[in-house]
Amino acid sequence: MGRDVNYQVVYRGERLESYQPGGWVFFQRSRESGGGYWFGRTYDYCFMLEFDRPVSLAEGIRYTLTADRVAITAHLFDDDFELT
């Protein structure tokens, strides 16, 4: 895993050797099954799908970048916010 990469890719025929709880993982599907990746997060004794369908690697990576960016600022509130 690279320095700026916040996900792991497990290709067909391989297995996930190690994981970080809450880490993003892509599991490659076979072409016969339609290709793409199952995408979700790993936890102790659990893999939680993020989508109910296979995704492309590009779609999943965009999602991780957006989700991580939101997580950084999710605790910030605008006290002066008003609905108009």
**pLDDT of 6-26, one tens digit each?**
899 999 999 999 999 999 999
**pLDDT of 29-70, one tens digit each?**
999 999 999 999 999 999 999 999 999 999 999 999 999 888
End-to-end CA distance of the chain: 46
Q: What is the pTM of this model?
A: 0.80
Burial tier of 50 (Cβ tally within 10 Å: 0-12, 13-18, 19+): middle
Handedness of CA 15, 21, 25, 30 (dihedral sign): positive
Determine how β-strand 46-49 pairs with β-strand 37-43.
antiparallel
CA distance 71 to 48: 18
